Structure 1
Amino acid sequence: MSTIPTAQHDAVSGADDAELDARFAPIFERIATGSIEREQNRELAYDAVRWLKEAGFTALRVPKRYGGSGATLPQFFRLLTRLGEADSNLPQILRLNSGFIESRLESDDEALRERWLPKIAAGETVGAAISERTASTHNSVTLAADKSGNGWWLNGEKYYSTGTLYADWIDVAAHDGADDVRVVVRADAPGVARIDDWDGFGQRLTASGTTRFDSVYVSDDQLLVRYKASEPRRNTSLTAFYQTVHLATLTGIARAVLRDGVAFAQSHTRTFGVPGRSSPRDNPLVHRVVGRLASLAYSAESITASVARSLENAYQARLAGRANTDTYIALDIEAYQAQQIVIEQVLEAATLVFEVGGASATSETRRLDRHWRNARVLASHNPAIQREAAVGNFHLNGAASNERFSLAHSPSELERVATDSAVAVNG
C-alpha cells in the first residue's frame, strides 16, 4: 500500500484537455494582441498576470481538493508553451510560482500543502528572491530571531528576483547564522522593496531585478524549510522541472516565430530580388524558409512534450513508491540533452525568420527581433555549456564522478536551480 498522502494522489487526477483549451485560448489571444505594444513601451504585464490568475492558470497543478485544476504535467507544459507563444515573458514571470507548487507536491509535509496551496488556488502567486549577483555573496540575506522569542527579522538584498513585482508572496533564501532557511513573506510587507532594475536585452518585462528586505517581520508559520548546505543529494524532479519551464517558453517562441513569419509573408506585397509587384507567399524560397520554421517549431515542441511525459512518469513513480535516485538522474539527463537541441533550434528559427522579407522584416513596428533577444536571454539562464558538460560526464564516467558537474544536488544547489541567472557560471 502506498504511503504517499492522499493529497498527492489528487494532484494527478487530471483535467479535461478541451475544457482547459476553451478556458485559456481567449486569454492567450488577448495577451498576444498586446505583446508588441508592451515590448515597445516596456509596459510591465500586470494586466496579463491578473487575467491568468483570475482564470486559474497559476493554479493549474494545484490538486482539485485544494481548489486547483489538478492538471497533469504534460497538460501544464502544453499550456505553458501556448502562453510562451503569446508572450514569452509570462511563463518566466510565473516560473517560481510553478516550482513552488511542485515543491509542495513533492513534499511529505501536509501542513505546508494545506497552508499554501489553497492560497495559490485562490489566485495568489509566489515570486523569487533566491539568487544574488555573485556566488561569493550567495545567501547573504540574514534571518535573526526576535529577542522576545516570537518570530524573526529578515534583512538583506537579492537580485534576479523574477516574478516578484507581480507576486503576492516572495520565497526568500536566507541564513540564520547556522542553517540555510527558506521563508515566504508578503510582497507588500513593511520593509520589502521591489525594484525594476533588470537590464537584460531580452525578457524585459519579467522584472528580474532587485528585492530588498529591511527588518521584515517573519512569523514561524512563514518558514518553509531549514537545512545544512552540506546535506546530501535530495531525490527531486525540480531540476528537470525548472529546465522544462524554459524549454516550454523557448518552444513557445518558436511557435511565435512561425506565426509571425507566416503573417508577414501572407500580407506583404513585394519579394526581395523580384522586380515589380509580387508576393512572398508565392515564392519557392520563402516556402523553404517557412517550411524550415515549421519544422524547427515542431521539433522543439515534440522534444519538450517528451520531457514533460518523463516528468509525469517520474511523478507517478514517486506516488507509487517506485522512484529512486536513478529515476531523477535520468530525468535530469533527459532535460539537459533536450536543452542542447531546443536552444539551438529556437535560436536558428529566430534568426531565419528575417529571410521571409529582407530589410522590411526588420521594421520596429513588427519587433521580430524580440524573439531572438528573448530566446538568447532564456538560453543563458541555466547555461547550456555547463549542462552539456554534465551530460558528457554522465555518459563517460557516471553521474557522481566529477563533483563540479555531477547531478547530485544538495539543497543549496537546488536554490540555484530556481534562479533565473547564469550567476553560478558567470559570476
Structure 2
Amino acid sequence: MSSNRPDADALAQRFRPIFQQIAEAAPQREHERRLAHDAIDALRQAGFGALRVPRAHGGLGATPEQLFDLLIELAEADSNLPQALRAHFGFVERLQAEIDAERRVPWLRRVADGALFGNATTEAGEGTVGRLQTRLFRENGRWLLEGEKFYSTGTLYADWVSVTAQREGNEPGAYRTLAVVRTDAAGVERLDDWRGFGQRLTASGTTRLHRVEVPEENILEFPAREATSLPAVFQLFHVATLAGIARAIVRDATAFVQGRKRVFSHGSGTAPREDPLVQQVVGQLEATAYLARLAVQDVARALGDIDRLRQAGQPVPEAALVDVELRATKAQVVTTDAVLQAATRLFDVGGATALQEDRRLDRHWRNARTLASHNPVIYKARVLGDDTLNASRPTFYWAVGTAA
C-alpha cells in the first residue's frame, strides 16, 4: 500500500457515524422536502469534500476506489447527497486531470480548507446543441459573466460555483471555459426551483448570472475534443448512487419484514420472515445490491489506475480513457435497469402497510428513476451497441439542445 494512501477502515470509521445520522433523518427530510444543509455541513466539517485532495495540499489523499466505496455508503444513507456533491468532486477531479499544476493548487487548497463547489452547466430552452448562451466577455478591462443555467446541482449548498461559458474570442466547441465564482458574489442568484419527483433535495435549480465579475485567475480552460476520464467520473457518481439505493432497498425491506407479524391466509409461512416467497424477493434484492456495487468497483479501479499514472507523472494512454468510458457506460446500463426493478420489487414483501407515506419507501424508485433520466440510458446502450458492432470511438463531451 502506498504511504500516501489513507487506510480504508480509518476512512470508514471517520464517516460512518455521520452516515448513520444522515440515514436516520432521511425519510422525514424527504417527507418535508427540507434541504439537507445540516447533513452537508456535517460532511464538510469531517473533511468529506477533501477526500480526493492530495495530502501535500492538505486533503485526505483518498483513491478513486476509496471515494466511490464511501459514496455508495452515503447514497445508502440518503441518495440526494452524493448527487449534491457530484459537481464538487467532479471539479476536484478536473483540476487534477485537465488543469495545469500551477493553476490547480490554490483551488485544491480551498477544497482542503472546506470549500464546496457547485455547478452551473446545463442551459434550458431552445439553445443549439454544442453552443452555450452564457457568455464570458470583456468590458473596460474586466471579465463579466452573463447567463442562466438549470440543473445547477448542489449549488445551494456550495461556496463556489463553476460556470461553463462561451468565452469571448474562443472558437465554439474547441475549448471548455469554466468561470469559477463565489455563490455570494454580486450578480449571482440561486433558486430552489427543482420540481422533479425524485432527488428533490439535491438543490438542482436555476442559477442566474448578471454581469458577475470574474478575476482572470478564476477562469479555467481545457480542450473539449480530446479523450478524458471526466465523463466516466461524473457517470460513476450516478451509478454509485444507484448502488447505494440498492443497499437502502435491502435495508428497508429487511427491517419491514423482520418487524412484521401479519400474514396472508394464502401465504406460505407462519410469519413473513419464514415465508419462502418473501425470502426469495429479499434474496433478489440482495443480489441486485451486490451486482451494483461490483459494477461501481470495477469502474473505480480503472479510474484509480489512470489516477496513479497521473500521480507518477506518466502519460495516460488514450486506450485507457476509452476503456474506462465504456466500462462506465456498461455499469450505467446494467445497474439502472436492475435497481429500478428492485425498487419496484421491494413492495412485494408486504401489503398496503408498505405504502404508508411516513415510510417513504417510494423514494427509492423515484430517486432511481430520476438518476436514470439525467443521462438517458437508452443513448448509452446505443453507444455500447455501436462500439460492439463498429468499433466506434465514444463521444467524451456531449450536450443537449436543439439541432442546428
TM-score range relative to shorter protein: over 0.9
Asked if structure 1 preserves the Cα contact closer than 8 Å seen for 2:257 and 2:350, the reply is yes
2:254 partner letter:
V
Asked if structure 1 preserves the Cα contact closer than 8 Å seen for 2:250 and 2:286, the reply is yes
1:7 equivalent in structure 2: none
1:5 equivalent in structure 2: none
Asked if structure 1 preserves the Cα contact closer than 8 Å seen for 2:63 and 2:304, the reply is yes
Aligned with residue 409 of structure 1, among 390, 396, 400 = 396
Aligned with residue 293 of structure 1, among 285, 295, 298 = 285
Offset of residue 115 of structure 1? 1.1
Distance in structure 1 (CA, Å) of the matches to 2:102 and 2:18: 33
1:258 equivalent in structure 2: 250
1:94 aligns with 2:85: yes
Distance in structure 2 (CA, Å) of the matches to 1:47 and 1:387: 35
1:59 equivalent in structure 2: 50
Paired residue secondary structure (1:70): coil
Paired residue secondary structure (1:136): coil
Paired residue secondary structure (1:193): strand
1:220 aligns with 2:220: no
Moved more, 104-113 or 344-353: 104-113
1:83 aligns with 2:74: yes
Offset of residue 104 of structure 1? 1.0
Offset of residue 426 of structure 1? 11
Offset of residue 292 of structure 1? 0.8
1:173 equivalent in structure 2: 164
1:42 aligns with 2:33: yes
TM-score (normalizing by structure 1): 0.88
Moved more, 369-378 or 205-214: 205-214
Aligned with residue 185 of structure 1, among 162, 181, 185 = 181
Offset of residue 191 of structure 1? 1.1
Asked if structure 2 preserves the Cα contact closer than 8 Å seen for 1:399 and 1:408, the reply is no
Offset of residue 280 of structure 1? 1.2
Paired residue secondary structure (2:124): coil
1:377 equivalent in structure 2: 370
Tell me the alpha carbon deviations over residues 328-368 of structure 1, each in whole angstroms, 9 at most, x when there is no partner. Answer: 11111111111111011111110111011121111111110
Instruction: Evaluate the alpha carbon distance shift between residue 366 and residue 425 of structure 1 in structure 2; reply closer, same or farther with a 3 A threshold.
Output: farther
Moved more, 218-227 or 252-261: 218-227
Q: What's the % identity of the aligned pairs? A: 46
TM-score (normalizing by structure 2): 0.93
Aligned with residue 387 of structure 1, among 346, 367, 380 = 380
Over 6 Å off, 4+ runs: none
Distance in structure 2 (CA, Å) of the matches to 1:246 and 1:135: 26
Tell me the alpha carbon deviations over residues 90-128 of structure 1, each in whole angstroms, 9 at most, x when there is no partner. Answer: 000000101101011113512222110011111111101
Offset of residue 135 of structure 1? 5.9
Please, which runs of 5 or more residues in structure 2 have no aligned partner?
171-175
Distance in structure 2 (CA, Å) of the matches to 1:269 and 1:122: 51
Paired residue secondary structure (2:165): strand
Distance in structure 1 (CA, Å) of the matches to 2:322 and 2:209: 36
Paired residue secondary structure (2:123): coil
Offset of residue 424 of structure 1? 5.6
Distance in structure 2 (CA, Å) of the matches to 1:185 and 1:132: 18
Instruction: Evaluate the alpha carbon distance shift between residue 322 and residue 113 of structure 1 in structure 2; reply closer, same or farther with a 3 A threshold.
Output: closer
Asked if structure 1 preserves the Cα contact closer than 8 Å seen for 2:98 and 2:222, the reply is no
1:333 aligns with 2:323: no
1:298-313 equivalence runs, <5 A: 298-313=290-305
1:196 equivalent in structure 2: 192
Distance in structure 2 (CA, Å) of the matches to 1:133 and 1:123: 31
Tell me the alpha carbon deviations over residues 274-326 of structure 1, each in whole angstroms, 9 at most, x when there is no partner. Answer: 58x95311211111111111111111111111111111122223445252211
Aligned with residue 109 of structure 2, among 107, 118, 121 = 118
1:352 aligns with 2:345: yes
1:271-286 equivalence runs, <5 A: 271-273=263-265, 278-286=270-278
